[in-house]
Amino acid sequence: MANGRGCQAGDEDMNEVMGLKAKLGLDVFKPDKEPHIMIKPGMEKDPRLKKAMLVCPAGLYSENEKGEVELTIDGCLECGTCRMVCGAEVLDWEYPSGGAGVQFRFG
C-alpha cells in the first residue's frame, strides 16, 4: 500500500502468512484499575460460561479443577461475544475506562 498502487499480491501473501494469533500479538493491552468483565459470584459453574469458553476469540475463559469457569481479562478484545452468550445474569460487563483496554495495531 505504501507505493500508492493499492492492494498488491504481496499484501495478500502477508495476510496468509500472518495468522490470527500473530496479529493479536501485535495488539497492546493496558489494564484497567478493575477488571471490566467479571463473572458474578455464584455463577462460576453456569453452563452459559462453557459457551463463552468456546466463543471467546482471545481464549480468556478456562475451567479449573473444581469445574468453575475463570476469566483472565488481560488480552480482552472488547468484542462483546461473551456478553451475548452469557447475558447480564452471569456477567458484569462494562467497557474499560478511558485510556485502558485494547489498542489494535493490525487491521
**Under the rule (CB under 6 A), what is the footprint of ligand SF4?**
37, 56-58, 60, 76-82
Choose between 18 and 27: whose C-beta lies nearer to ligand SF4: 27
Minimum separation from the CB atom of position 65 to ligand SF4 (A): 21
Nearer to ligand SF4, 32 or 78 (CB): 78
The type of residue at 92 is D
CB of 17 to ligand SF4, least distance (A): 24
**Closer residue to ligand SF4 (CB): 43 or 81:** 81
Kindly state the smallest distance separating residue 101's Cβ from ligand SF4, in Å. Answer: 10
